Structure 1
Amino acid sequence: MTVTRPRPEADWAIEARGLSKAYGSVSVLENLDLRVRRGSVYALLGPNGAGKTTTVRILATLTRPDAGQASVAGHDVVTERSRVRRAISLTGQYAALDEDQTGRENLRMMAALRGHSRRAAARRADQLLERFALTEARGRRVATYSGGMRRRLDIAAGLVGDPEVVFLDEPTTGLDPRSRRTMWKAVGALTAAGVTVLLTTQYLEEADRLADRVAVLDGGRVIAEGSPAELKKTVAAQRLDLTMAGHEAYEAMAARLAGRLLHKAPEELLLGVATDGSAAHVRALLDELDPARAEVERFALHTATLDDVFLELTHE
């Protein structure tokens, strides 16, 4: 009997090798490698101009790379563009909706364009309106929707065709905290259904909460990649924040700690150093740094966040 073995790449919804892109003399991506496992959430972080949106545009077949190869849902983004587009959904930073139609009409129109019958289009529209908490507003014109409602409807429209891979380019920019949490729940529901999500975001808390893996881009290169927990450990799992008693004490301590500092906030007279978080290590640090107990006014343990990772790796 012949046993069919799955291809090694079957686990990967997105693969990119050596992607490069330049606009004139400006290099945007330089030899970028990326692999995203099926059914996971993968976040791209980086300062403005790091290459996040360019990466998404290449993977979504909107821009051709100058060099390198990439596949999405098993299809090459250059030679099999139409197959890639049938397998993906792309939601950009701005909602692309017909404001004169209602929310339900927008989704029914999208479903009809995907080849659904009228009955199937109506059913699919109602399912998505419920998933994104828009059922009560389904009969209102989109022009009356809040920013958060528009973003949710925009993503819902991209899901009409049951894509395998969803690209979300800064999906919650400008949203209030309640709308952001609704979006997070929707992303969680997508991955629970086996959909792969690649998102770019400026909110590090968002990547920390949603992403299985995170890549930090800077200067068109991946400078770090791993789970949020793994990346935090590269900075320090815990940080001891010391609030100094005055400016002189702050400057003196900052000079003594020069190579050990993880965090500085002069306006708050605050300095951060690495610790393992244990009581014994915290006591030892305080005894070492302020034996006279005169310079440190108070202290606090701080769990490392992706903000710390981002600032450390991108030197901002």
Structure 2
Amino acid sequence: MSKTPDLSGLEAQEGKGWVTARTLAEALPYIQIYDRETVVIKYGGHAMGEEAVARQFAADVVLLKLMGVNPVVVHGGGPQISAMLDRAGVRSTFVDGLRVTDEATMEIAEMVLSGAVNKEIANWISLAGREADVRGVGLSGKDAGLLTVEKTTRTRRDPDSLIEHEVDLGFVGEPTRVDPKLIRGLIESESDWVPVIAPIGVSEDGRTFNVNADTVAGAVAGSLKAKRMLLLTDVAGVLDEKGELIRQMSVAEARGLIASGVATGGMIPKLETAIKAVEAGVEAVVILDGRRSHAMLVELFTEHGAGTLIQA
């Protein structure tokens, strides 16, 4: 009677090679799920200024492209804008997490976002993918009518009189229309382009506006009917009232977390963005910690994922 050979010793000798092969085999079903699907990635935060983290992010984006996924990157750049404003001696204030943007601030914001930050991310992707001819293409919402916006309005209630009054945020916009033709042309091209989009938009009358990057990512993902939108942030995901990570939730449950006060601070606009994106046709949105090594790959190609998934 034949006996199954004991390969444990051989596997131990091979070490990392066997682990890598097993990992790839386990990832196969997920690779097929995302084949030729679009994944919109919002990339931002303080990690953008760290070269090692930026290089790893770029390498993971290239790997997604080589595995048949169509990644579309939307980036922020708040810390970089603040640093440049300080250097220029321009004072900046915030209302409800949105930067009040006058003409001087808008000029610097566009210079930083559409210039330095955008081109740096596109270049990191091109460098990481040069052997496979995967290239990052830097864009902003001003290119080819990609992002049309309207001026954002906010109101605040006076604590004494309880009268609400409008707060002028200056050149801060909200998306009203996304024209995805340029993005579709790039990701459906025979060349391996990766669009990298700066969150700058234009109003109907031609004025330039700064737009929250999370909001732009949600609007772009909705227009593309993306399979996934990944919101990379600096926390593990959405936490419950006990401080434990919630692995999965519905849109209704996300609304409940906001209404109950369990979701606070910067997590509220992220959940609101996720809700809008799902309602616009995105299959699911994931909020995850972009500081973790290969967080995107773990989320997309493993059974347990890496953050909080929100779906209809």
TM-score bracket for this pair, using the shorter chain length: under 0.3
Choose 1 or 2 for highest CA Rg. 1
